[in-house]
Structure 1
């Protein structure tokens, strides 16, 4: 597997930072070059704070997969980027009287902090504007592709707003999708996934002032995708495509692949270093794809052999078409799986009342993560309903935390606050054990790459808690029967073994509570999701109930 694309064009000028992924990097285990699996999530646009729609999209789901695989011992690289140069950043700056730099930097820092609070742990977060970041590397890539004839000049119509005196691109121009008619912006349509560049929108208008946009012909740089059609069709034919992405790719394979805009007139973005295009910047959508590659490290490390791309349908074209084409251009045969996770539909104000930090502070990361995993999905965007989030908290309090509180009280009252020296057992334990064995097998499938389904994982975890609660209630009479004390202790030991298992089984979904429970039981953190975790703490281990709920707030 070659790595030439990641190296870019090694023509760094004296005094210019060499290509790299930037200084804003968090490492959470593993070495980039040693990773066997690469997980990416669509770069986040820093036009505002992180909101619940982001978390309901690719980010929490991708973190679930990364946590599961790491616990299994697989070397994983988990990356994203902050898309500083998205058109909506410039639009927000214009509407608030700030500079785009201030908007991108301030919100970008807040977004990274909120991701940490949500327990979404990336190895790399690539940012183009930070010192030593990706801007220089992106410039080199565009220059090299132009020199090789992959990126070429084309004259095409582009919307222009007379009242604002501005060329319009990305979210700065709104209209009807030329393919399905749905209201959208330039770029990929969120409804059908088809790409557009603005000049083909129906009834285009300026997103800033609302005026109708005229079309002016302008010479820009485009990447030609049609030469990659046969190789891409073979890539798509190997499977791994969600249904809606498969429909998108099949249509493109039949009808022909579009040219992809690489540059547009403007000042906000990475300047193009190609003669004749000095007044243009790299198109934000193309840059967002490059950010994913830059997020790998942009060094001499080989790419991981496999990749899993998490995205919403609005970014599927770039992940499933443009990105593999860029890899193929460098002789890399992509082995990729695609996971579509649609975000919440937000209110017109952009999500007031849905800011991630507010909800995380009120409900805790366990409640928020679990909620977005069981509500959002791959096929459609759902609207946010506050009562559902409250209901998620009630489920955790009424089932998970209620059972654990009763268990901790029994340990204190019956065992002196320590794990009993009795093997797990009790009436019906063998039947319960068979259920748990089947549940963890299903759970591993729901967590794994091939059958990834976090909504199913949440349901299975609830099933485990409900089942062990019923088992405990059915056997609770043992404590009152003469000479049955040891059997009741076996019942407590059985429940402690299930609680111990949940520190690993539930950790991909609710890492904060799982780690809190592991601390109470004094068992290792981050064990594999397997039946081996179904083991009570060693005899005599102190079991002291925490003051706060174990899961959620």
Structure 2
């Protein structure tokens, strides 16, 4: 068996539930690519985790007078349930507080890197809150990014994706009590990136980075690669396993990068290709720190990056109306998946408009489900609910078939890792459905011709062939409805996205259409 393609998605911090922006970012898109490659017979390893030790978890716990472990456990369960309901199926979700051996594995990696000199101590300024008597690192500190001026937490700016060291955060304040911070000298452990300058520059040059990520990496090289703090004086997280730092915890960004390696066993055969899905605000961890951890262990592998921008909520929409659980309950996974793929923020921010989500449901109801309902009704009325004894045909069938073949080529390109574009895939699928629906309307009039009997049956067979193909072609985007359609037609689910799928159920096969809509609900 060949070594798999390794696909990762950013581990979310467990300080809150998933909202629609998370689904529009890395998760649904990565699942689409995974499903497509598996249908093609490729071996795939699809992994993520939950960032239970993120500083934002502790901040939420402090604000609500709860224990951090309670916050992490509660939201981890909610996040994994939302993934399941949205059809995002991981091979491994790393659970930092539950996976056996995880904590020791991360600490052992940290210790090895320290012994190799990859991690070294430095003394720098770090914000401190005197009323709270707490060092302010990560989400504990708020202020303005020293690089772009945007609102930022300590450690990483999610706007420009450049790191800050906490002490250079402009107008730093405590995230819990909002008191202005004072700067104090603090001895911490760092990964100096400058020794990796040439290796990283070569790696980035061959990785085919998206333009904005390439600009970030080139700017880091131009300005001088920074030292990245990988430990902090704190109470929450994995203890730093280095003598002299008894009250320090491992940084969340370091742990998130290490989590990917734990999710993929680096002691076994290396993947032939790694594809990382992340938001731009998290790209430093994926494109800088993770490669350093790999390079420090002499692990080299081809890597690609699918980076999305932010999917922001339109002004006036209440926060409670954008949670993944609520939208999945109201619209279902098919509708929500196709919507977030259409609205996926590539190269620029996009805005969530609830009426566009409602429009996605209308498209499924008025185009996809309407055509399928007419088709199943015609088979029931004309053929007793069985696939007709006829070859695909009808007026315009040869033209439609050629268009569908061209459409499959477009689909394969849009689904494939080299030109991945799920928004294009949705558009191609919609055009296919509109074309076959028109074909069905035109050929329905064959039943009214008295000159020849059964002229309408080849058109029904043709439409059943297209429906069968769509159960394969649409499955990466809408797996729930696609599998429902395959079951209705008594054909195999999860077939390859190619023109061979354009084969209807065997003549005489009794169809089992669902009582409700095929796609969505």
- From 347, 350, 357, the equivalent of 2:325 is 357
Match of 2:264 among 296, 315, 332: 296
**Of residues 275, 282, 285 in structure 1, which corresponds to 2:250?**
282
Determine if contact 2:138/2:156 at 8 Å carries over to the other structure: no
Aligned-residue offset at 1:383? 2.8
CA deviation after TM superposition for structure 1 residue 329, in Å: 1.3
SS of structure 2 residue aligned to 1:113: helix
Corresponding residue for 2:95? Answer: 127
SS of equivalent to 1:321? helix
In the alignment, does 2:400 pair up with 1:432? yes
User: Within 1, Cα distance between the matches of 2:424 and 2:503?
Assistant: 24
TM-fit CA distance, 1:144: 0.8
State the Cα deviation string for residues 466-495 of structure 1 (Å, max 9, x = none).
111111122222111124443311111111
Matched, 1:384 2:352: yes
Contact (CA 8 Å) 1:425, 1:487: kept in 2 or not?
no
Aligned to 2:342: 374
Shift of 1:544: 2.9
Farther-moved stretch of structure 1 (116-125 vs 192-201)? 192-201
* Residue matched to 1:328: 295
Could you say what secondary structure the match of 1:286 adopts?
A: helix
Instruction: Name which of 345, 361, 371 aligns with 2:312.
Output: 345
Question: Normalising to structure 2: TM-score of the pair?
Answer: 0.97
Is the Cα contact below 8 Å between 2:189 and 2:231 reproduced in 1? yes
The answer to whether the Cα contact below 8 Å between 1:58 and 1:310 also exists between their aligned partners in 2 is yes
Is 1:208 matched with 2:180? no
**CA–CA separation in structure 2 for the residues paired with 1:513 and 1:236:** 40
C-alpha deviations, 1:70-124, integer Å up to 9, x for none? Answer: 0000000000010001111001111111100000011111211111111100001
Q: Secondary structure at the match of 1:153?
A: strand
2:470 to 484, 502, 506: 502
Match of 2:429 in 1: 461
Residues 202/520 of structure 1: CA separation in 2 closer, same or farther (3 Å cut):
same
Instruction: Answer whether contact 2:138 2:154 (CA < 8 A) is retained.
Output: yes
Indicate how the Cα distance of structure 1 residues 333 and 348 shifts in structure 2: closer, same or farther if over 3 A, else same: farther
SS in 1 for 2:351: coil
2:384 equivalent to 1:416:
yes
What is the aligned residue count?
520
Q: Provide the secondary structure at the position in 2 that maps to 1:77.
A: strand
8 Å Cα contact 2:113-2:296 kept in structure 1:
no
Partner Cα separation in structure 2 for residue 484 and residue 374 of structure 1: 45
C-alpha distance in structure 2 between counterparts of 1:36 and 1:388, whole Å: 37
TM-aligned CA distance change 1:427 to 1:376, over 3 Å: same
- What whole-Å deviation, never above 9, does each CA across 1:359-387 have from its counterpart, x for those lacking one? 11111000111111111222233232211
- Secondary structure of residue in 2 paired with 1:383: strand
* Greater alpha carbon shift after TM alignment, 334-343 vs 303-312: 334-343
Which residue is equivalent to 2:5?
A: 37
Distance 1:454 1:89 in 2: 32
Given candidates 29, 33, 47, the residue that maps to 1:61 is: 29
CA contact (8 A) 2:271 2:301 kept: no
CA deviation after TM superposition for structure 1 residue 34, in Å: 5.8
Q: CA deviation at 1:57?
A: 1.0
Q: Which segment drifts farther, 49-58 or 119-128? A: 49-58
Matches of 1:539 and 1:505 in 2, distance apart?
22
**Aligned residue number for residue 477 of structure 1:** 445
117 and 537 in structure 1: CA distance in 2 versus 1, 3 angstrom threshold:
same
Tell me the equivalent position of 1:319.
Answer: 286
- The runs of 5 or more residues in structure 1 that have no matched partner are 1-32
Aligned-pair distance for 1:325?
1.6
Question: Any idea what the Cα deviations from partners look like across 1:121-165, whole Å, max 9, x if unmatched?
Answer: 000111221151421111111111111111000011111112222
Q: What SS class does the counterpart of residue 345 from structure 1 fall into?
A: strand
Residues 99-138 of structure 1: pairs in structure 2 closer than 5 A:
99-130=67-98, 132-138=100-106
Residue 50 of structure 2, aligned match among 82, 90, 98: 82
| Inter-CA distance 543–149: structure 2 relative to 1 (3 Å threshold) | same
410, 417, 425: which one aligns with 1:449 = 417
Q: 1:173 aligns with which of 141, 144, 155?
A: 141
Contact 2:311 2:345 in 1 (8 A): no
Secondary structure at the residue paired with 1:196?
coil
Q: In the alignment, is the contact (CA less than 8 A) between 1:419 and 1:493 conserved in 2?
A: yes
Aligned residue number for residue 310 of structure 1? 277
Q: Is the 8 A contact 2:94 2:259 kept in 1?
A: yes
Mapped partners of 2:232, 2:462: distance in 1: 64
Q: How far has the Cα of 1:195 moved from its partner?
A: 1.5
CA–CA distance in structure 1, aligned partners of residues 101 and 431 of structure 2:
46
Q: 1:383 to 1:329 in 2, by over 3 A?
A: same
Equivalent pair of 1:35/1:77 in contact (CA under 8 Å): no
Instruction: Tell which deviates more after alignment, 184-193 or 540-549.
Output: 184-193
